[in-house]
Amino acid sequence: MAIKTNTTRTVERTSSALIGKCEATEKNMKQLMERAGCAGAAMKSVMLPMIPGSKDDVQYVGLNGADFYFLRGKRCEMPEPVFEILRNTGNL
């Protein structure tokens, strides 16, 4: 049985594979907020820092069954409950 490992090649493609999800998050933010139960929450403008030594530049956050994807190194708008998850987990 072959074991899939995360090689440099697969890590380098992380953002290109997930960039569509980042764009969909930005485009459908209101629907995602409703699904997550945080419709009407205040929005925070945040720049997620790049992680030194990591080629993974996409940050995933799940809230009540809604999936949010944000690109690191770029300023983005996110609902305050999502911001709190990132802050509490040390991902800011």
pTM (predicted TM-score): 0.78
Note the pLDDT of residue 67: 96
Of all helices (H) and strands (E), which one includes residue 16? helix 14-27
Residue 4: pLDDT band (50, 70, 90) is low
Q: Which of 28, 45, 50 is nearest to 82 (CA)?
A: 45
Indicate whether 35 pLDDT > 50: yes
- 13-26 core/surface letters (b: 16 or more CB in 10 A; e: else): eebeebeebbebbb
Locus of tokens 């997620």: 48
Mean pLDDT of the chain: 85
Quote the distance between the C-alpha of residue 57 and its chain's center: 9
Question: Does 10 have pLDDT greater than 50?
Answer: no
Integer Cα distance of 59 and 8 in angstroms? 18
- Report how far Cα 62 is from the mean position of its chain's Cα atoms: 9
Domain assignments of the chain as residue spans, ordered by start: 9-88
